[in-house]
Amino acid sequence: MQRRRIAVAAAVVAAAGAAVAFTLPSMAGTTPSSTTAKPKAGGVSPQILAAMKRDLGLDGDQATARLQRAKWASAVSARLSAQTGADFGGAWLATDGNTLKIAVTDPAAEKAVRAAGAEPVLVERSEQALVTAKEKVDAVRSEASGVSGWYVDVKTNKLVVVAKPGKVSTAKRLARTAGVAGDAVSVVTSSATPKPLFDVRGADPYFIRVDGGTARCSIGFSVEGGFVTAGHCGGVGATTTGFNQQAQGTVRASTFPGDADMGFVEVNGEWDPRPVVNDFEGNELPVAGNTEAPVGAAVCRSGSTTGTFCGTILAKNQTVVYPEGPVTGLTRTDVCAEGGDSGGPWLSGDQAQGLTSGGSGDCTVGGETFFQPVNEILAAEDLTLVTSGGGAAQPPAEDAQPPAESAGACADQAVQRDGTLPRARTAQAQPDGAAFRSNAGVQTACLTAAEGADFDLFLQRLTDRGFRTVASDTGAGDKELTFNGRSGTYRYVVVATSGAGAYNLGFSTP
């Protein structure tokens, strides 16, 4: 199957006349819902609002405002991450769900944060320094006995290691072994033991043949040609059947454990990928896009075992130690889930967020659940999310974004940088000789150079072997670059192939 690039803004219309409607499966012996929830003002379905009222205590206006604020905060955070580069310390929404806080390591960056409508917080360590510390622990994860996970906590500006009861010294030793400074680490204890949320039993929707048995999971989101789900639900080549026990598809991509918990199932011609999520109350919730929500944002999930529940995003890029092995890059929430919910979708309003991975507790006593960011698999497998259309919410007037820093030919890009290369065979890294963090998704850039000069543009991603070029535009004339990639640390490099003079670089991040 030929896969196309992510198309976030464009609406993808499901093919008419398919024999079976593709949606999150209902319980065994039932048929999928045929009622599509109609969004209220602000683009939020009444079922999501009802779930947020039940789980978060927010009325309709409060819930809508919080979701719109999260969309705005996501865009502002991405832009400031690129603008402040190595000074960026992370972003999160305060407990009021309204105040966006941006951590920076340089007081000079506070002005840009305030101009964007956010509240600056001066910290000691940059987000990249904390991510580097986490990656050091990831490298020794085979020695993580007695530890259930670790993650970057931008609010405390530390790497948090989660130890099992009585294992605090083990957690500290793990950090020391990894070479992480003690003052950059905080150890918390938890008796929770995260596990993947699948049941090896029948009689529930979407079944996968696993090790001679049958596992049950939940469909995540429709993509062109199939759907995405959790990687632990089945390995490459496994076949699936749907809620109606009919042949459904084949697993074409699967990662678990390790760098992710994500999978892609290619469906046969009897299944029609549609931009909806079943809430198990007789409604289909619309999926309009995949703008990633920040830490502190409200989020809801649906699953074939427990239905729809809501809560808050607590942390991102967490490494979780499952019995099968550690998994990196997960998002931690305070939402409950149970076996069979694995692979199910997470929404912030009508924006796709992720796929249920695992957790602890249940929906009777509560618990915590981790999800795999959906944008990671869209980028890694070059998949197109099927959507109903709809862009990000507009920020309130008082939070209007400041004008671009440059009026160059690339001024339509969110971040602007000007520079000068004094002679051929010289180069500069942007922003400002540093790097920036980017969410998964499409990055775009534009470069114009002085008359008579030929400058080339390279986008590089930080790996364990240093920066590596992932996209470039070379040759004569102005340069344009588009890259669909995973989350990580990036930088642009402008190289003078011939000539010298000033240039204007504009770029945008997802």
Catalytically active residues are 232, 261, 342
Class of residue 19 by CB neighbours under 10 A (exposed 0-12, middle 13-18, buried 19+)? exposed
Produce one character per residue of 444-473: b if its CB has 16 or more CB atoms within 10 Å, e if not.
bbbbbbbeebbbbbbbbbbeeeebeebbbb
CA–CA gap between residue 446 and residue 152 (Å, rounded): 32
Q: Give the whole-angstrom CA distance, residue 366 versus residue 311.
A: 11
Tokens of 316: 């991102």
Handedness of CA 353, 358, 363, 367 (dihedral sign): negative
Phi, psi of 17 (to 5 degrees): 85, 5
Distance of CA 227 to the CA centre of its chain: 17
**Which H/E stretch holds residue 106?**
none
Pairing verdict, β 213-216 and 207-210: antiparallel
Give the Cα separation of 356 and 344 in Å (integer). 5
Only one residue has tokens 């924006």, namely 351
